[in-house]
Amino acid sequence: MNRLVKVILSITILFSLQSCKKNQLGGKSSLKGVVNHHGKAIANAIVYIKFNATEFPGDDYKLYDTSVQADAEGNYAISFYKGSYYIYAKGNDLDVAYPHLVKGGISISIRNNEKLVKNIAITE
Task: Give the tens place of pLDDT for each residue, 14-56.
Answer: 554 444 567 778 889 999 999 999 999 999 999 999 999 999 9
Would residue 68 count as lying in a domain? yes
In a domain, 3, yes or no: no
- 42 domain residue, yes or no: yes
> What is the average pLDDT across 82-93?
95
Backbone Cα Rg of the chain: 19
In a domain, 69, yes or no: yes
Range of the domain at 64: 23-121
Residue 60 has pLDDT above 70, yes or no: yes
pLDDT category at 63 given cuts 50, 70, 90 is very high
- Assess if residue 1 is contained within a domain: no
Confidence band of 4 (pLDDT split at 50, 70, 90): low
Q: Looking at the domain assignment, is residue 49 inside a domain?
A: yes
Mean pLDDT over the full length of the chain:
87
Read off the amino acid at residue 9: L
Cα–Cα distance between 7 and 71 in angstroms, integer? 49
Q: Would 115 be classed as within a structural domain?
A: yes
Do the domain assignments include residue 12?
no
- CB 37, CB 102: distance < 8 Å: yes
The CATH number of whichever domain residue 77 belongs to comes to 2.60.40.1120
